[in-house]
Structure 1
Amino acid sequence: MYSKETLESYATFSNILKILKRDPRFNEYCSQTRVPAGTSLPLNKERDVCYLLESGFVKYNFSGEDGLCNYYIVYPGKFITLPIVEEYVPNTGELLFLNQSVYWTIDFEFLRKMLFNEDPRNYIMLQFSVETRYKLYVLATMRNITAEERVMFTLIRLANFGMHVSANRVDLPSFVTYNIVAELAGTSKSFATLTLKNLRDKGILDSSKRPWVIEDMSFLQDTLNISDIPSF
């Protein structure tokens, strides 16, 4: 069994680039791109590259054979996509960059060769698999709670990317909007807006200006009573 700290400390953004740069052909197989907020990048099932996020936030939309749409947020330092098993790649996908971002495009065969030589214990792949497991846990949780609870659950997830100004108060990221909350919660914008208004009326949320502020984080956590909410 591996420790959480071991995997996380090895699979950092800086260490991944350090490993890749050990090959003199790094610039041949890896390229850096800066994109403005709102940039969309479509994905199909045929993938020979993967994407590593250096800065910014990305909403990854994807669907499988059941046709249902799924969403999650990728934050800096993490792989946006890393197609480990060919048969298990989502049918379609889209990357939406929520603010100005920088990401790396990495040839997958080059990455696989470098990890085979430099990461024989597969720490980086294992860490990505662990993160994917938690993302699936989030999606499974979302499908088993009410629409109102999904909106509150989404706020808690988004709080992980914000600034915790005190134990109970969180400034949410500047990209948070009614549309973003509705999409992540799997509800209509009108329903999400009404639910958020109820939270405002109770003094739980302040969305009068950006960034939005969760004024009472413990209320959301206690109301949902969902343990082990991951940070992605």
Structure 2
Amino acid sequence: MYHESELHAFFSVEQVLKLLRKNPAFSKYCYQRTLKKGETIQLTPLTRGSFYMVEKGSFSVYYESRLTGRMLISFFQHDDIFNFPLLKERMHPILDFIALTDAQVWVVDFNFMLSTVKLEDPRNYLQLNFLSTVQIHLGNALIRKSLDSKKRILHALVELSEKMALLSPNQAYELPTFMTYELLAEIAGTSRGYTSRILKELRDMDVIDSSKRPWIVKDLNLLNNLLYEGT
């Protein structure tokens, strides 16, 4: 068992690039790709030849299968990695990563990455970090699925505050500028009208200021208390 801080010390674009550059073939198998807002990286079982690291920008992550249809499951940002499949028989049907801002990613040939990691990362810190990150994303998606409509909105706001917000000196949380009523409603699985109503309640309680972007969560403790109310 590891402490989170111990694993995360080895989990950043800079650290992974440092590891990969130890292989003299780095420039042949690794390159940067720039995406404009709205552009998509789509992964299917037949397009899994590259490993991706987010260097700049943010992405919405959509999962699609015959059983579930298409659904927004999470958001990715700087230092997140994707397409690190461990089992060929367990690849997700379709994953879409849509740039919510202008973005830049590192694209690494998957076989090159695996061969380098086997030599340079014998303790498997990179894979362990990836698995722990996936566990968190899927855990949050599962929890949201089990909540009622209002608490799905509250849960999404808490998750965004804790994972992607900028903390100001007065302990307020500045949410990413890409967050909108529509996007919050989508990840919470509710309508825009209902989401707008809940946000007004939170504004009236001085929990959040969503009158303009970026939204500001002014009282994360109270937001958490509302989420856990009745439990």
With structure 2 as the length reference, what TM-score do the two structures score? 0.91
Alignment partner, residue 153 of structure 1:
155
Aligned to 1:215: 218
C-alpha RMSD of the superposition: 1.7
| 2:15 pairs with 1:15 | yes
Partners of 2:60 and 2:72 within 8 A in 1: no
- The verdict on how the C-alpha distance between 1:3 and 1:169 changes in structure 2, with shifts beyond 3 A counting, is closer
User: What residue identity is the alignment partner of 2:187?
Assistant: L
Return the alpha-carbon distance in structure 2 between the equivalents of residues 4 and 205 of structure 1. Answer: 29
Determine if the alignment matches structure 1 residue 205 to structure 2 residue 208. yes
2:72 aligned with 1:61, yes or no? no
1:33 maps to 33
Aligned to 1:92: 94
Q: Secondary structure at the match of 1:158?
A: helix
Most deviating of 33-42 and 95-104? 33-42
Answer with 65-74 or 79-88: which moved more. Answer: 65-74
1:180-195 to 2 correspondence within 5 Å? 180-195=183-198
TM-score normalized by the length of structure 1: 0.91
Q: CA deviation at 1:39?
A: 1.7
Q: How does 1:36-47 map to 2 (within 5 A)?
A: 36-46=36-46, 47=48
Report 1:131-142 matches (<5 A): 131-142=133-144
CA distance in 2, matches of 1:200, 1:109: 50
Paired position in structure 1 for 2:107: 105
Alignment: residue pair count: 226
Q: What runs of 5+ residues in structure 2 fail to find an aligned partner?
A: none
Call closer, same or farther: CA 1:217–1:166 in 2, change over 3 Å: farther
In structure 2, C-alpha distance between the alignment counterparts of 1:167 and 1:126, rounded to whole Å: 35
Structure 1 stretches of 4+ with a deviation exceeding 4 A read: none
Deviates more, 1:199-208 or 1:118-127: 199-208
Cα 1:54–1:110, aligned 2, differ >3 Å: closer, same or farther? same
Distance 2:42 2:14 in 1: 27
Matches within 5 A, 1:64-83: 64=65, 66-68=67-69, 69-83=71-85
| 8 Å contact kept, 1:153–1:224 | yes
